[in-house]
Amino acid sequence: MKDFAPRPVARAINWNRVTDDKDLEVWNRLTANFWLPEKVPLSNDVQSWATLTDDEQQLTIRVFTGLTLLDTVQASVGAPALMADATTPHEESVLANIAFMEAVHAKSYSSIFSTLCATEEIDAAFRWAEEDPHLQAKAAKILDDYAPGSDPLKKKIASTFLESFLFYSGFYLPMYWSSRAKLTNTADLIRLIIRDEAVHGYYIGYKFQRGLERETEARRAEIKDYAFSLLFELYEIEERYTAALYDGVGLTEDVKRFLHYNANKALMNLGFEPLFPDSVTDVNPAIMSALSPNADENHDFFSGSGSSYVIGKSVATEDEDWDF
């Protein structure tokens, strides 16, 4: 019978008729931010790599292999799974871009490995990734939601958590090394990845919000419950994964603060309120400034204590008036 079903009309994508401006905005942002690992001089980190202990090297290779696994899942399963639910052809194009950039990210870790590590160390880390119960558990949790026929909104929740939360137990380490003036070129490459993931999480979270608006109140409540319970499940896995990796170098508690901070951002990308209070999101300032260098200079008007304002009354105020 299938042969007699009318074939849907094949449609060409028209970028001169965009129904959701966010599609064009994000397409422009992603394509302007395009990069390849070859532009980062990773070989300048060879000497720095040699200053790490064997345990620190193994930790770093494992962390990057874990990140590679998540990027692989997102490139080959996650973004294509979201494409099936796209509401505009332009959304499909943006997701194609996201899928490709995730493949670039995954390949970038191999560039780091081939620059810094021996083949047997790399192979051992890839074996570890297949056997590590916590890493496999988080991939499995996400892949469950990506299965064909899954709820489109749940797919977007899982995808936003991957982009905006699950990567960060790994991203912590290169920021930590960078704050200690180690592997700084590698950190530059990771910052490019971090920048991309922000746009991906923002966009998928945005599409989630548009989809959620069309649902009944009861269904919105059900989906919100699902999002929070998935976050709790993923968080428990992340806690164990973090402890297994970072206990040896004594960084587990600080990494967990970074996880709380990023879990809040993942929830905000989905349009929900942050969950973790400031008391458990106070990430080591050195990590924050490795993430956004120079971003905190001259910006404590409201956060500093006892600073007084100098307020000009006229329109023609000079910059010097505000030079504290």
Distance in Å, CB of 112 to another protein, minimum: 19
Nearer to another protein, 75 or 193 (CB): 193
**Number of residues forming the site for another protein (CB under 8 A):** 52
Give the x/- contact pattern for another protein in 59-88, rule: CB under 8 A. ------------------------------
Burial (0-12, 13-18, 19+ Cβ within 10 Å), 255: buried
With a CB cutoff of 8 Å and minimum separation 6, the contacts of 299 are none
Interaction of residue 12 with another protein, rule CB under 8 A: no
d(CA 259, CA 173): 12
Flag whether 105 is marked binding: yes
308 φψ region: left (φ > 0), alpha (ψ -120 to 50), beta (else): beta
Cβ of 23: how many Cβ atoms within 10 Å?
A: 24
Residues 298-317 that bind another protein (CB under 8 A): 298-299, 301-303, 308-309, 311-313, 315-317
Interaction of residue 293 with another protein, rule CB under 8 A: yes
Flag whether 71 is marked binding: yes
Binding residue for another protein (CB under 8 A) from 89, 137, 271, 286?
A: 271
Cβ proximity of 245 and 63 under 8 Å: yes
What one-character DSSP code corresponds to residue 43?
A: G
Binding residue for another protein (CB under 8 A) from 57, 88, 150, 209?
A: 209
Identify the CA nearest to 196 among candidates 273, 100, 89, 274.
100
Q: Which stretch binds another protein (CB under 8 A): 41-49, 95-103, 148-156, 198-206?
A: 198-206
Binding residue for another protein (CB under 8 A) from 58, 242, 281, 284?
A: 281
Nearer to another protein, 210 or 240 (CB): 210
With a CB cutoff of 8 Å and minimum separation 6, the contacts of 157 are 145, 208, 223, 226, 227, 230, 270
Interaction of residue 295 with another protein, rule CB under 8 A: yes
Burial (0-12, 13-18, 19+ Cβ within 10 Å), 24: middle
- The H or E element containing residue 109 is helix 89-116
Residue with tokens 């993923």: 234
Cβ proximity of 296 and 289 under 8 Å: yes
Binding residue for another protein (CB under 8 A) from 58, 179, 264, 284?
A: 264
Identify the CA nearest to 79 among candidates 95, 67, 57.
95
Q: Which stretch binds another protein (CB under 8 A): 30-38, 78-86, 102-110, 219-227?
A: 30-38
Interaction of residue 211 with another protein, rule CB under 8 A: no
Nearer to another protein, 154 or 210 (CB): 210
Q: Which residues are catalytic?
A: 109
Per CB under 8 A, residues contacting another protein are 21-22, 25, 28-29, 32-33, 35, 191-192, 194-195, 197-198, 202, 205-206, 209-210, 264-265, 268-269, 271, 273-274, 277-278, 281, 288, 291-295, 298-299, 301-303, 308-309, 311-313, 315-319, 321-322
